[in-house]
Amino acid sequence: MHFKWLRKLIKMGSEISSILKNCEAIKFGHFKLTSGKESSYYIDLRAILAFPEERRKLAKAYVKIIEERIGEIDCIVGIPTSGLAIASIVAHEMNKPLTYVRLDARKHGLMRGIEGFSSGGRAVIVDDVATTGGSILRAARILRKHGFEVKHAVVAVDREEGAHENLAREGIKLLAMAKISEILRELKEEKGS
């Protein structure tokens, strides 16, 4: 079973590389990330919104990982902004309620910390990319205060900069479809051929 899933993960990683390339969602240059870190590359999965076929492939990959690695859940949770767009598509595909977390407290309106489904239960956080895991951790803490059980987060790409370890310390397993090292290696091999 473990080897079967490993083969699926390798294939999924290759599909993610292809999606990033087809949507021009990976950029090289000088960028500042949400975590505050600086990077020579940026992954912008918001670009996928303009590509229906690639968007469908990505949603199916999220659904597959959730169904096969997590099992039964009560809702999908998105983190604004990229994570929310992806979570919306995944929730629709799975016919599950959607919740999104406001990472910054609202000081007007209903002043809610979460929007959408708010009945608690087993939630999976869906985001685009994980760097340090800070946004996912903040979302998980807010969700837990509202009665949600949060044990998993799913991302398309793990930048391999501490998210896996930081989330594990708080009882959250990070499931990534691809690691940045794999994506960069594949892009380099493609360029070299």
| Domains of the chain: residue spans and CATH | 2-192 (3.40.50.2020)
In angstroms, rounded to a whole number, what is the distance separating the alpha carbons of residues 178 and 14? 8
The per-residue pLDDT for range 28-83, each reduced to its tens digit, is 899 988 778 888 989 998 898 899 999 999 999 999 999 999 999 999 999 988 88
Cis peptide before 34 (omega within 30 of 0): no
pLDDT band, very low/low/confident/very high, at 112 (cuts 50, 70, 90)? low
The per-residue pLDDT for range 137-156, each reduced to its tens digit, is 999 999 999 999 999 999 99
In angstroms, rounded to a whole number, what is the distance separating the alpha carbons of residues 16 and 10? 10
Residue with tokens 């946004």: 135
DSSP string, 40-88: EEEE-GGGGGG-HHHHHHHHHHHHHHIIIII---SEEEE-TTHHHHHHH
Instruction: Give backbone dihedrals phi and psi of 159, rounded to 5 degrees, phi first.
Output: -75, -5
The reported pTM is 0.89
In angstroms, rounded to a whole number, what is the distance separating the alpha carbons of residues 117 and 119? 6
Q: List, in sequence order, every residue forming a beta bridge with 99; answer none if it has no partner.
A: 77, 116
Cα–Cα distances in angstroms (integers) from residue 62 to residues 28, 121, 146, in the given order? 25, 20, 25
In angstroms, rounded to a whole number, what is the distance separating the alpha carbons of residues 127 and 139? 11
